[in-house]
Amino acid sequence: MNQKELQHLYWRAGFGMLPKVYTANSKSRKDVVDALFVNSKAISPIHIDLSYLDGINPMDFKKYPSLAKEINEKNIKSILELNYKWIEQLIQPKEVLRERMTLFWANHFVCRDRNPKYAQQYNNTLRYYALGDFRAFVKAISKEAAMLRYLNGKQNRKHKPNENFARELMELFTLGEGQYSEKDIKESARAFTGYNHDFEGNFRLREFQHDNESKTFLGHIGKFDGDDIIDIILENKQCALFISDKIYRYFVNPVPNKNHIEAMADVFFKDYNIENLIRFVFMSDWFYDEVNIGAKIKSPIEFLVGMANTIPVEFENKKDLIKIQKLLGQTLLDPPNVAGWKGDKAWIDANTIMVRLKLASLLFNNAVISLKEHGDFNDSFREKYFKRSKDKLPFKTLPNWEAFLDNFNSIETENLHEYIIQGNLNKGTADYLESLSKKSKQDYCIQLMSLPEYQMC
């Protein structure tokens, strides 16, 4: 594989790559792709300190009203801590492809829960199944405490079914709109009645609330439970097409290619093995077509994590990570609704593009972009977006320039853009870069990260 192909692969399978990985240039595509999967076989769950919940049961909140307030305040802090931990794991992943897939599935099986125990458990379930059996994955999601709370599964009872999960299961998680009837939703909801969980987040089926009577769903008749419903859905190849389409738009190109997606669905429908599907994509010649390189607008998390991957950085105040996510329009663990973030062009508007173009200078160079060898310009962005005193910057960070220079030691400064920017530069940008001083590799890197082209991957 050549450098361009490797770079493309690692920006889609991960969040960019360092020059040391280019030693794989002499390796075949199969060897490189195999290595990605081998290195992501293991699972590194996220764990935050939830010891303050030890020994507590639901009755305690009724006995001690002040305890509920105390626990709620700690829960809010723990959700923030879970966000930080997830960001850190994305920046320094042990299993890069698994972490990338976890991020993908988090915006597919969209869920939000303010209980950090359930949120952490849900996040780790996404991570566990990220490259595994999609059938088992969907069934596990249907039993997760966070999902049962988010889509009112706990309120789904015999004689009074709640249709929220049944509807989203088909519309957003497996089949897509227009592939089922309202009666199918009602019958499916009956199958998921009685789904519940205990205080620790373990799944519990409340038999007396479960509807054991016969149901008619997508042309099948039987005394179905939730797992049966999922099995019936997956018998329909439309499910394989729906998931393949979504993966294509995320990993390949936001503009779908019907032939490529149908080829993916043929692979996926055989056994619903996620690893086999992703491997097929990464091994396909069309994945490396010029039209797909630099064709995606980076999500805010891809953008932030990609920068931190290139220039390691420490935040003096971790809450700044939340501020940045909010400014960019994507806060982990806090999706806008059950459909998740729209992505693609929705990531960019008049406000977020300003944040994106100035963020590198804020994080790595005290809010200054050096344009010339002996000059710079004042950054009005900070005055517009942050209330601050004149001698304070919005984010206090410590960039690790030694690590950056060490990682990019073998790369000449004038060639740095070939490793930082995906896709081709237009003539105007190329001329602009030509006019810049190349005396400082650090400055030049920040300048590259401040280009509109850096928004793409």
For the stretch 182-199, pLDDT in tens is 999 999 999 999 999 999
Q: What confidence score (pLDDT) does residue 26 get?
A: 62
Q: What confidence score (pLDDT) does residue 241 get?
A: 98
* C-alpha torsion sign, points 353, 359, 362, 365: negative
Q: What confidence score (pLDDT) does residue 393 get?
A: 66
Secondary structure (3-state) at 347: helix
Which residues of the chain, if any, have pLDDT below 70?
A: 23-26, 367-393
DSSP annotation of 315 reads: E
Distance CA 203, CA 145 (A): 7
Q: What confidence score (pLDDT) does residue 367 get?
A: 56
Q: What is the crossing angle of helices 274-283 and 96-106, to 10°?
A: 110
DSSP annotation of 163 reads: -
Q: What confidence score (pLDDT) does residue 258 get?
A: 98
Distance CA 268, CA 275 (A): 9
Q: What confidence score (pLDDT) does residue 121 get?
A: 98
Give strand pairing partners of 158.
Answer: none
Q: What confidence score (pLDDT) does residue 365 get?
A: 86
Tokens encoding 400 = 């690790």
* C-alpha torsion sign, points 397, 402, 407, 410: positive
Quickly list DSSP for 21-89: GGGGGGS-HHHHHHHHHHTTSS--------GGGTT--HHHHHH-HHHHHHHHHHHHHHHHHHHHHHHHH
Q: What confidence score (pLDDT) does residue 378 get?
A: 40
